[in-house]
Amino acid sequence: MLITEILYTITQIRQKIKSFKEKKLVIGLVPTMGALHIGHESLIKRAKQECDIVIVSIFVNPIQFCLGEDFEKYPRQIEADRQICSKLGVDIIFAPNADEMYPDEATRIDENFTIVAPPASYQNKLCGNFRKGHFNGVATVVLKLFNIITPDKAYFGRKDAQQLVIIKKMIKDIDLPLEIVDCPIIREPEGLACSSRNKYLSAESRNKALCIFKSLKNIEKLYNTGITSASEAIELSKKLIDPDLEIEYFEAFDFETLKRAEKIQKNTLFAIAVKINGVRLIDNLII
């Protein structure tokens, strides 16, 4: 097994990219914040099938964390991540530090840095309402990674559904010529959607959190039995959520435009966010 090379600087990775481009190799990027789990693994495997070169970026992006969020304690485990990448045949890990990505005084979104701002109509809902500025930070770092690595394809999971829609919209609006590959949610055996933040859960919280997926499956069941009102399906399914889970939102939107959905139809996104013992979990179902 080859050990995946880790590159830390933009200059280094650009040199590699240049040589790949000269050989006309198809480059796939899997952007991550590390703490890789089987969800990330599924993205990497998909990229390996479709690309000549697979690059995994690992960067805990300070500007997408809001005040009071878990930036400091977010899991960092580069050697474990490297083992996973090596096992899966990843060609390069790009793991810059914050000074490499934000060399100016500005390492947070602030008044000294150029920001990519996704449309307000895509931000002022779902996670955007609870994480002010989060999607500006996401769009900005993703654009930076795209500009540095110039991938042909980039792989994102559907678990972060709003992020995925916003990045697709960004690509279209600013004419970036690359393909966003949108990949299904991967779940732990009992149904909990994979997330690096699942590490924060106690055994008890983890058990209680299983109701999230159950309530989403209930939506699908209701739809299959003929219910077409999104709000009705949500109200009925909310009853399956354990009362110890604090629901931030449980709502329905169109998966492309993020316009609110009244009627359930193809591409309706049911998205839920809860807090349990201070841990924030999100999940969703796309019809």
Calpha distance 5→10 (Å, rounded): 14
Task: Based on the shown chain and the rule CB under 8 A, indicate whether residue 113 belongs to the binding site for a second copy.
Answer: yes
Minimum Å distance from CB 36 to a second copy?
24
Pairing relationship of beta strands 153-157 and 268-276 according to DSSP bridges: unpaired
The residue from 98, 106, 227, 287 that contacts a second copy (CB under 8 A) is 106
For the question of residue 37 being annotated catalytic, the response is no
**Which residue from 183, 170, 159, 94 is spatially nearest to 137, judged by alpha carbons?**
170
Q: Which is nearer to a second copy, 60 or 234 (CB)?
A: 60
Binding mask 6-35 for a second copy (x = CB under 8 A): ----x---x---------------------
- Residue 38, token pair as written in the block: 């089987």
What's the closest the beta carbon of residue 103 comes to a second copy, in angstroms? 8
The residues in 174-193 that bind a second copy, with binding defined as CB under 8 A, are: 174-177
**Nearest of 131, 115, 107, 94 to residue 170 by alpha carbon:** 115
Q: Which stretch binds a second copy (CB under 8 A): 48-56, 57-65, 138-146, 264-272?
A: 138-146
Q: Is 169 in the site for a second copy (CB under 8 A)?
A: yes
State the virtual CA torsion across 259, 260, 265, 268 in degrees, nearest 10: 70
- Answer whether 155's CB lies under 8 Å from 47's CB: yes
Are 252 and 234 contacting, i.e. CB atoms less than 8 angstroms apart? Answer: yes
Choosing from 4, 7, 40, 245, the catalytic residue is 40
Binding interface with a second copy (CB under 8 A): 10, 14, 104, 106, 110-121, 139-140, 143-144, 147-148, 169-170, 173-177
Q: Which residues are catalytic?
A: 40
